[in-house]
């Protein structure tokens, strides 16, 4: 039953059974090698008759202690069955095996697949004590997780670019800029929560066993940080916040243009995941994100400042639209197997690895090409070319995706670098406009 | 031999152990074993484990049948000068009224075995359900010791009052 190789992987070998006193007993076993097999023997002080024919657990366990304290590399196998003792040798007629090896099932995945058990336990205690229990991480972190606050960078950067392009043309009103940022942030955060809400209903988040800080949704609903009603209330309130701000800007700066842009933004944000359109489920998520975080935000910000829309603003919006789209795109790579399972047919679920990498390379190329074209087509200052400094980062993202494709945990660093690439390139692009205006 | 508390050399092993096998009894009166980090409070003479509610089946088992056993064996898993293989049978109880905070009183013991634990606790928002933890408190009743970890030697037996 136990091979020599097992002993190399598991140093600790033990057995548990129910003792005559009614307590379980867990004892170490003596192991020796015999004719290429492993012989198990009871330790001194345990009579064979005490365990013969009993239901036992045979446990093989391993940890690697760390020199500075603690341990890593955990794995164990538990064989359950009836014990037999013959001529001093112990064997187990195996009925069931349970095992965990953190190399094959990384700890975060082990945690993830156990979520429903934890929720049931909390509900059980809640019933017993007459209270509602939920994971206690404090109000700030609950909000932070639920709305996915750090992703606001994807709104702040295009707003800065729109403001930069307007500034280059001689327009800048900081109050209007703050109001624009506020309204767009509300819509973006609403989009994040609505996305979780509908992904939970449609099964995409529930199916995902290997979420990361960048992929698999916020998990706020799955972990019970907020319930469905609360999530709906949060995204509705945030959408209302966005609409009210948009309405004010529309009335004061230009009714038709801002109404159209806000309406489009709301439409894409809500129907990104919400039925019946479920754009992300039809392979249209990337287009929606490109339009929403590129042209709609940049043109909207630009219009609020200048009360006009020009080709220069359109040109400014394309690179950042592509970069934010690529944040979504790269973050969807680890989700792809689970998205496919849930019928969320994003682009990545339809692509082979080669096609996925080609799309990534082509989009990055288009991003930096579109930046180069801004001064060449006389649609902005030459100083926007400083944004090309982000290109080496993009190359590192491409290389990282290629090397770690399909491994969610190894992709965490790449996904983080990809967000930085968008943020740095976009910020440099915005800075390029401000510098151009100053020169 | 009847004792009022665990022998000192056993306490040293418990304090140095990085892993213990905790066995509980399921509803079919069968043993179920789990490798876990043991935390020993020498002042109280009580052995503790903390269990996330993610892995809460053992908690349900203990609530139905509090009899448990704990094995500490394997020299390299015990960071103490002396080493003995130790089996403890005891009565366990689950403390789960305050899953968010109560286990944190064991952090000083936990920190001694996993010095990096505070960094993880600070990031508890990343794995919120993992940090909702019950305490398993084990009152030792019977102890079996294979001195120096020598399993060919007759073990010593101790009983603890209470």
**Per residue in B5-59, pLDDT tens?**
899 999 999 999 999 999 999 999 999 999 999 999 999 999 999 999 999 999 9
Q: What is the pLDDT of residues A373-419, one digit of tens each?
A: 999 999 999 999 999 999 999 999 999 999 999 899 999 999 999 99
**Among the listed ranges A76-85, A301-310, A374-383, which one has the minimum average pLDDT value?**
A76-85
Residue A116 has pLDDT above 70, yes or no: yes
Query: Which residue from A minimizes the CA distance to B140?
Result: A23
The owner of tokens 């408190």 is B137
Q: Where in chain A is the domain with CATH 1.10.600?
A: 138-438
Top residue of A9, A11, A28 to mutate, by most chain B CBs within 10 Å, is A28
Q: Of chain A residues 189-228, which have a CB less than 8 A from chain B?
A: 213, 223-225
User: What pLDDT, on the 0 to 100 scale, is given for residue B73?
Assistant: 95
CB contacts < 8 A (A, B): 180
Structure tokens that stand for B23 in this block? 């066995």
The owner of tokens 């040293």 is B12
Beta-strand relationship, A55-65 and A89-101: unpaired
Rounded CA gap, A354 and A369, in Å? 22
For the domain spanning B2-160, the CATH number is: 2.30.110.10
Chain A environment of B29 (Cβ under 8 Å): 18
Mean of pLDDT over chain A? 94
| Shortest Cα distance, chain A CAs vs residue B92, angstroms | 11
Residue B161 has pLDDT above 80, yes or no: no
Q: What is the pLDDT of residues B48-90, one digit of tens each?
A: 999 999 999 999 999 999 999 999 999 999 998 889 999 999 9
Q: What is the pLDDT of residues B97-138, one digit of tens each?
A: 999 999 999 999 999 999 999 999 999 999 999 999 999 999
User: What pLDDT, on the 0 to 100 scale, is given for residue A253?
Assistant: 97
Residue A35 has pLDDT above 80, yes or no: no
Query: Which residue from B minimizes the CA distance to A55?
Result: B30
User: What pLDDT, on the 0 to 100 scale, is given for residue B162?
Assistant: 55
User: What pLDDT, on the 0 to 100 scale, is given for residue A32?
Assistant: 84
Which of B24, B114, B129 is nearest residue A135 as measured by Cβ atoms? B129
For the domain spanning A138-438, the CATH number is: 1.10.600
Local confidence band at B2 (pLDDT 50, 70, 90 cut-offs) = confident
Q: What is the rounded average pLDDT of the residues B144-156?
A: 96
| Shortest Cα distance, chain B CAs vs residue A149, angstroms | 13
Q: What is the rounded average pLDDT of the residues A159-177?
A: 98
Local confidence band at A2 (pLDDT 50, 70, 90 cut-offs) = low
DSSP string of B67-108?
A: EEEEEE--GGGB-SSS--EEEEEEEEEEE-S-TTTGGGGGHH
Top residue of B15, B26, B62, B71 to mutate, by most chain A CBs within 10 Å, is B71
User: What pLDDT, on the 0 to 100 scale, is given for residue A33?
Assistant: 76
DSSP B4: S
User: What pLDDT, on the 0 to 100 scale, is given for residue B3?
Assistant: 82
Structure tokens that stand for A185 in this block? 């942030």
Instruction: State phi, psi for A315 to the nearest 5 degrees.
Output: -60, -40
Taking the domains of chain B in order of start, what are their residue ranges? 2-160
CB contact under 8 A, B128 and A114: no
Which of A11, A44, A61 is nearest residue B155 as measured by Cβ atoms? A44
Give me the long-range contacts of A271-275 (CB less than 8 A, separation at least 24): A272/A191, A272/A194, A272/A195, A273/A194, A273/A195, A273/A197, A273/A198, A273/A199, A273/A202, A274/A194, A274/A198, A275/A198, A275/A202
Residue B155 has pLDDT above 90, yes or no: yes
Residue A92 has pLDDT above 70, yes or no: yes
Chain B environment of A29 (Cβ under 8 Å): 151
CB contact under 8 A, B89 and A23: yes
Residue A7 has pLDDT above 70, yes or no: no
Q: Let me know the angle formed at the C-alpha of B20 by B19 and B24, rounded to the nearest 5 degrees.
A: 145
Instruction: Describe the strand order of the beta sheet including A71-86 as a list of residue ranges.
Output: A24-28, A12-18, A55-65, A71-86, A89-101, A37-41, A30-34
Residue A31 has pLDDT above 80, yes or no: yes
Task: Name the more confident of A199 and A134.
Answer: A199
User: What pLDDT, on the 0 to 100 scale, is given for residue A346?
Assistant: 95
Which of B19, B53, B151 is nearest residue A43 as measured by Cβ atoms? B151
Query: Which residue from B minimizes the CA distance to A213?
Result: B126
CA dihedral A128, A130, A132, A138 (to 10 degrees): -100
Distance of CA A267 to the CA centre of its chain: 24
Structure tokens that stand for B69 in this block? 């056993």
Q: What is the pLDDT of residues A209-225, one digit of tens each?
A: 999 999 999 999 999 99
Q: What is the ipTM of this complex?
A: 0.96
CB contact under 8 A, B18 and A129: no
Local confidence band at A187 (pLDDT 50, 70, 90 cut-offs) = very high
- Picking from A210, A203, A199, A268, the residue whose alpha carbon sits closest to that of residue A239 is A268
In a 10 Å sphere around its CB, with 0-12 CB exposed, 13-18 middle and 19+ buried, how is residue A144 labelled?
Answer: middle
Q: Of chain B residues 43-102, which have a CB less than 8 A from chain A?
A: 52-57, 59, 67-71, 73-74, 76-77, 79, 85, 87, 89-90, 96-97, 99-101
B/e letters for A357-373, b = 16+ CB within 10 Å, e = fewer, are eebbeebbeebbebbee
CB contact under 8 A, A63 and B87: no
Residue B94 has pLDDT above 80, yes or no: yes
Chain A interface includes B119 (CB < 8 A) = no
CB contact under 8 A, A24 and B54: no
Q: Where in chain A is the domain with CATH 2.30.110.10?
A: 4-104
Chain B interface includes A108 (CB < 8 A) = yes
CB contact under 8 A, A121 and B53: yes
| Superfamily, domain A4-104 | Electron Transport, Fmn-binding Protein; Chain A (2.30.110.10)
Query: Which residue from B minimizes the CA distance to A117?
Result: B54
CA dihedral A307, A311, A315, A320 (to 10 degrees): 30
B/e letters for A64-87, b = 16+ CB within 10 Å, e = fewer, are ebeeeebbeebbbbbbbbebbbee
Residue A188 has pLDDT above 70, yes or no: yes
Which of A24, A70, A145 is nearest residue B31 as measured by Cβ atoms? A24
User: What pLDDT, on the 0 to 100 scale, is given for residue A136?
Assistant: 86
Q: What is the pLDDT of residues A306-318, one digit of tens each?
A: 999 999 999 999 9
Instruction: State phi, psi for A34 to the nearest 5 degrees.
Output: -140, 120
């Amino acid at each position: 039953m136990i091979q020599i190789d097992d002993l190399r992987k598991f140093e600790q070998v033990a057995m548990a059974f129910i003792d005559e006193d009614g307590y379980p007993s867990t004892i170490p076993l003596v192991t020796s090698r015999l004719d290429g097999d492993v012989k198990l023997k009871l330790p001194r002080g345990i009579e064979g008759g005490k365990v013969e024919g009993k239901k036992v657990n045979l446990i093989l366990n391993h940890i690697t202690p760390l020199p500075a304290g603690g341990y890593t590399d955990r794995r164990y196998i538990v064989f359950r069955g009836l014990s037999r003792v013959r001529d001093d040798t112990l064997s187990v007629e195996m009925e069931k095996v349970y095992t965990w090896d953190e190399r094959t099932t990384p700890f975060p995945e082990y945690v993830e697949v156990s979520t429903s058990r934890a929720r049931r336990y909390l509900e059980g205690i809640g019933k017993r004590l007459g209270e509602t229990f939920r994971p206690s991480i404090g109000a700030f972190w609950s909000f932070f997780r639920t709305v996915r606050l750090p992703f606001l960078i994807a709104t702040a950067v295009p707003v800065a670019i729109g403001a930069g392009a307007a500034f280059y043309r001689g327009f800048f009103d900081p109050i209007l800029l703050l109001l624009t940022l506020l309204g767009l942030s509300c819509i973006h955060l609403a989009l994040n929560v609505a996305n979780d809400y509908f992904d939970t209903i449609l099964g995409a988040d529930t199916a995902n066993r290997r979420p990361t800080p960048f992929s698999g949704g916020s998990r706020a609903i799955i972990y019970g940080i907020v319930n469905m009603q609360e999530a709906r209330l949060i995204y509705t309130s945030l959408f209302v916040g966005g609409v009210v701000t948009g309405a004010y800007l529309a009335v004061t700066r230009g009714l038709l243009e801002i109404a159209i842009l806000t309406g489009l933004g709301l439409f894409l944000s809500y129907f990104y995941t919400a039925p019946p359109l479920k754009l992300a489920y039809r392979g249209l998520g990337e287009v929606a994100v490109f339009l929403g975080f590129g042209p709609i935000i940049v043109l909207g910000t630009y219009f609020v400042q200048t009360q006009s829309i020009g080709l220069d603003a359109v040109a400014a919006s394309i690179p950042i639209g592509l970069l934010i789209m690529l944040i979504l795109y790269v973050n969807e790579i680890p989700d792809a197997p689970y998205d496919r399972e849930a019928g969320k047919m994003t682009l990545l679920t339809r692509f082979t690895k080669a096609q996925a990498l080609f799309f990534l390379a082509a989009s990055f190329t288009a991003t930096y090409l579109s930046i180069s074209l801004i001064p060449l087509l006389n649609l902005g200052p030459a100083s926007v070319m400083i944004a090309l400094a982000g290109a080496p980062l993009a190359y590192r993202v491409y290389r990282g995706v290629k090397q770690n494709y399909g491994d969610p945990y190894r992709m965490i660093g790449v996904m983080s670098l990809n967000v930085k690439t968008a943020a740095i390139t976009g910020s440099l692009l915005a800075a390029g406009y401000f510098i151009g205006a100053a020169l | 031999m009847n004792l009022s508390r665990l022998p000192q050399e056993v306490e040293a092993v418990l304090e140095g152990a990085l892993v213990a096998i905790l066995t509980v009894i399921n509803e079919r009166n069968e043993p179920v074993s789990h490798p876990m980090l043991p935390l020993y409070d020498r002042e109280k003479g009580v052995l503790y484990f903390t269990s996330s509610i993610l892995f809460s089946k053992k908690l349900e088992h203990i609530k139905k049948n509090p009899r448990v056993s704990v094995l500490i064996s394997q020299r390299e898993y015990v960071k103490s000068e002396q080493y003995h293989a130790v089996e403890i049978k005891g009565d366990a109880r689950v403390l789960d009224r305050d899953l968010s905070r109560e286990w944190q009183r064991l952090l000083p013991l936990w920190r001694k075995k996993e010095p990096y634990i505070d960094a993880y606790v600070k990031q508890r928002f990343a794995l919120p359900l993992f940090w909702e933890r019950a305490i398993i408190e084990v009152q030792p009743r019977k102890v079996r010791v294979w001195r120096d970890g020598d399993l060919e030697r007759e073990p010593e037996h101790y009983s603890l009052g209470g």
